[in-house]
Amino acid sequence: MTGELSPQASPSEQGYEGALRPSTLSEFVGQSKVRRQLGLLLDAATMRQHTPDHILLAGPPGLGKTTLSMIVASELDKPLHQTSGPAIQHAGDLAAVLSALTPGEVLFVDEIHRMARSAEEMLYLAMEDFKVDIMVGKGAGATSVPLELAPFTLVGATTRAGLLPNPLRDRFGFTAHLEFYSDDELASVVRRAAGLLGFALSEQGVDEIARRSRGTPRIANRLLRRVRDYSLVHETPGDTASVQAALALYDVDQHGLDRLDREVLRAVVERFSGGPVGLSTLAVSVGEEAETIEAVVEPFLVRTGLLTRTPRGRVATRLGWEHVGVAPPGAPNG
């Protein structure tokens, strides 16, 4: 999904995101359990003057994993080095990063499940003993030279915790599972961001954006920016009417469904009599990749109770029928 409701950041968005990131745990909205767990870990480490355990942040995109890694570094008052799994294609790439770390530094590895296998094995020893074995030479003459590292804290982020090999998962002292945000929490995210952007948005406007943001702060901030654009260009106040007009322009409906979500739901209801229908048949019928439907559209429709997955295929729920404006079978007419 590439539209306004994509949970992934577009490259041009990163500057805006930086400006809206909370920089302390107390500014970080929602995820109260994770905040308390992380707060305790960091306070204890600071009191002991020791690096905290390695931290794994697991959860869907756009919920604040990168932001939390920055907060960990700033709460510990240590520098942060950021890299990502896809950037570590060889053990040597990782050795270069690890050997440059300063004592106590926080190393953030985004998408850690996509790191090369050889690097993963090097990381086990580095996480456990702050050491790596560097291979020098080739073939029969190759020898391994141990290299001491400065103690560091690894913060790994993954959208697919299940893909991490057990030995790697076990070496994290703490795993935070980030959950989708409630509408109230998203309203706080929007209110805070509107304040930072100097955009006067009414309380109803805040709630309206929150409701359409699919439980994801990144989407909330993006919709807020579109509403702000709309108000500027059309010289309208930041009220519910502006939110509705701006988001209608971007095809985002009152529940946060976009054009593709609605097409998928409508296809299940109208072309397949509510299902069950298989993923590939559904994908062909809306002219979209099966992967996009499975990874982006379906989880949201399932989470909002509009669609269910059964062993025989996807089935629209009663709510799903109602959402596309068709009476479900067995419902009284008129």
Beta bridge partners of 136: 143
* 63 scored as a contact of ligand ATP (CB under 6 A): yes
- Asked about 110 being catalytic, the answer comes back as yes
The contact mask relative to ligand ATP for 149-188 (x = CB under 6 A, - = no) is ----------------------------------------
Annotated active-site residue in 21, 65, 191, 214: 65
- Asked about 93 being catalytic, the answer comes back as no
**Span 16-35, contacts to ligand ATP by CB under 6 A:** 17, 20-22, 28-30
- Asked about 218 being catalytic, the answer comes back as yes
* 242 scored as a contact of ligand ATP (CB under 6 A): no
The contact mask relative to ligand ATP for 245-284 (x = CB under 6 A, - = no) is ----------------------------------------
**How many chain residues bind ligand ATP (CB under 6 A)?**
21
For residue 159, the minimal CB distance to ligand ATP (Å) is: 6
For residue 65, the minimal CB distance to ligand ATP (Å) is: 4
* 219 scored as a contact of ligand ATP (CB under 6 A): no
Using CB positions, name the residue nearest to ligand ATP.
64
For residue 16, the minimal CB distance to ligand ATP (Å) is: 7
Q: Residues 4, 214: contact at Cβ < 8 Å?
A: no
Annotated active-site residue in 51, 67, 158, 159: 159
For residue 175, the minimal CB distance to ligand ATP (Å) is: 15
Q: Which of 38, 41, 45, 66 binds ligand ATP (CB under 6 A)?
A: 66
Which of 97, 109 has the CB closer to ligand ATP?
A: 109
For residue 107, the minimal CB distance to ligand ATP (Å) is: 15
- Asked about 159 being catalytic, the answer comes back as yes
| SS3 per-residue string spanning the chain | CCCCCCCCCCHHHHHHHHHHCCCCCCCCCCCHHHHHHHHHHHHHHHHHCCCCCCEEEECCCCCCHHHHHHHHHHHHCCCEEEEEHHHCCCHHHHHHHHHCCCCCCEEEEECHHHCCHHHHHHHHHHHHHCEEEEEECCHHHCEEEEEECCCCEEEEEECCHHHCCHHHHHCCCEEEECCCCCHHHHHHHHHHHHHHHCCCECHHHHHHHHHCCCCCHHHHHHHHHHHHHHHHHHCCCECHHHHHHHHHHCCCCCCCCCHHHHHHHHHHHHHCCCCCECHHHHHHHHCCCHHHHHHHHHHHHHHCCCEEEECCEEEECHHHHHHCCCCCCCCCCC
Binding stretches for ligand ATP (CB under 6 A):
8-9, 17, 20-22, 28-30, 61-67, 110, 189, 217-218, 221
